[in-house]
Structure 1
Amino acid sequence: MARHAHHEHSGADLAAEAEAALTRAGEQWTAMRASVFAALAAQARPVSAYDIAEEVGNQRGKRVAANSIYRILDLFVRTNLANRIESANAFIANTHPGCRHDCIYLICDDCGAATHLDDDRLTGALRDAGSKAGFADVRPVVELRGLCRSCAG
């Protein structure tokens, strides 16, 4: 399997890298965006915009509208700070926001855990197939569903 080399960040290092990546993209790192990213990064599983809205609202002591969270999450996806898990309509923090490549997610149908996998040969082949079919700016979204090792055990 061809692996893409990158450094996985966590904790304060992940937040600092996310801020730097967003700033490099020409966007501002606001207090609200920082709160949304912190809530997202604190989760081990993909979470919905509604879950994040509730968490951020609890932290701020006032209700936060889910549509505001969706706008921020869409920005995070566009700027590589988060990935959208399409099959679950949920989001997960990208632990290597400064590194742009395609990810494959293995998603457990039982516990909801999402495991990130890199295989540049597979995603490269999907990009090539899309290009040959006349599509530009192809971004593979690959999700495999099944049971994780713990749930299958």
Structure 2
Amino acid sequence: MSTVKDHGHRHKEHEGADLAHAARTSLEAAGEQWTDMRESIFTALAAIEKPASAYDIADSVSKARGKRVAPNSVYRILDLFVRTNLARRVESINAYIANSHPGCLHDCIFLVCDSCGSATHIDDDGLSRSVRKTAESAGYVDIRPVIEVRGRCAQCD
């Protein structure tokens, strides 16, 4: 997963141990516990280059722990991660990516490659603001824009 930056907001991109620390800090600030299982799932998610399904993550964590981890347990934790901004869900392919800047709140805007499966997350506050305003003028509340653009990435073209 790659991220295109500077579309209306600057933030620090985390990776490796720094990303795990930022995720833990963010989760605990939200009043949640950073358990061994949550850490294992976040570590597995962050290690996968492309959006990963709960089954992919369950397989990875199962191998690392030496015992089977049920995908249902992974889904529950991934839902928590999405709610607390540690992960993003690529809706069209039912897959997840680690948020490389968990302390920043942004709407989800993805460019998804139909060929290789990569997903590029874009932070564009202006685009999100426009979508929110349009939805509000149509009477919607509790708006959570999820914008996905499908096509072929530069490496696959």
Question: TM-score normalized by structure 1?
Answer: 0.96
- Kindly state the Cα deviation for residue 2 of structure 1 after the two structures are TM-superposed: 4.1
Larger deviation, residues 105-114 vs 131-140: 131-140
> RMSD over aligned Cα, in angstroms?
1.1
> Which residue pairs with 2:119 in the alignment?
114
> Which residue pairs with 1:28 in the alignment?
33
Aligned residue among 25, 48, 51 for 1:46: 51
**Is residue 133 of structure 2 the alignment partner of residue 133 of structure 1?**
no
**Is residue 147 of structure 2 the alignment partner of residue 149 of structure 1?**
no
Could you tell me how far apart the structure 2 residues matched to 1:2 and 1:98 are? 17
- Kindly state the Cα deviation for residue 130 of structure 1 after the two structures are TM-superposed: 1.5
Could you tell me how far apart the structure 1 residues matched to 2:99 and 2:154 are? 22
Could you tell me how far apart the structure 1 residues matched to 2:91 and 2:82 are? 12
- The structure, 1 or 2, with the larger RCO (C-alpha pairs under 8 Å, 6+ apart) is 2
Matching of residues 89-108 of structure 1 within 5 Å: 89-108=94-113
Identity of aligned residues (%): 62
Asked if the contact 2:8–2:123 (Cα under 8 Å) also holds between the matched residues in 1, the reply is yes
Larger deviation, residues 1-10 vs 55-64: 1-10
> Which residue pairs with 1:7 in the alignment?
12
Could you tell me how far apart the structure 2 residues matched to 1:134 and 1:29 are? 38
Larger deviation, residues 37-46 vs 116-125: 116-125
> Partner amino acid for 1:92?
I
Q: Which runs of 5+ in 2 are unaligned?
A: 1-5
- Kindly state the Cα deviation for residue 131 of structure 1 after the two structures are TM-superposed: 1.5
Number of equivalences: 152
Q: Which runs of 5+ in 1 are unaligned?
A: none
- Kindly state the Cα deviation for residue 118 of structure 1 after the two structures are TM-superposed: 1.7
Aligned residue among 85, 89, 99 for 1:84: 89
**Is residue 69 of structure 2 the alignment partner of residue 72 of structure 1?**
no
**Secondary structure at the residue paired with 1:58?**
helix
Question: TM-score normalized by structure 2?
Answer: 0.94
Asked if the contact 2:87–2:97 (Cα under 8 Å) also holds between the matched residues in 1, the reply is yes
Could you tell me how far apart the structure 2 residues matched to 1:39 and 1:2 are? 28
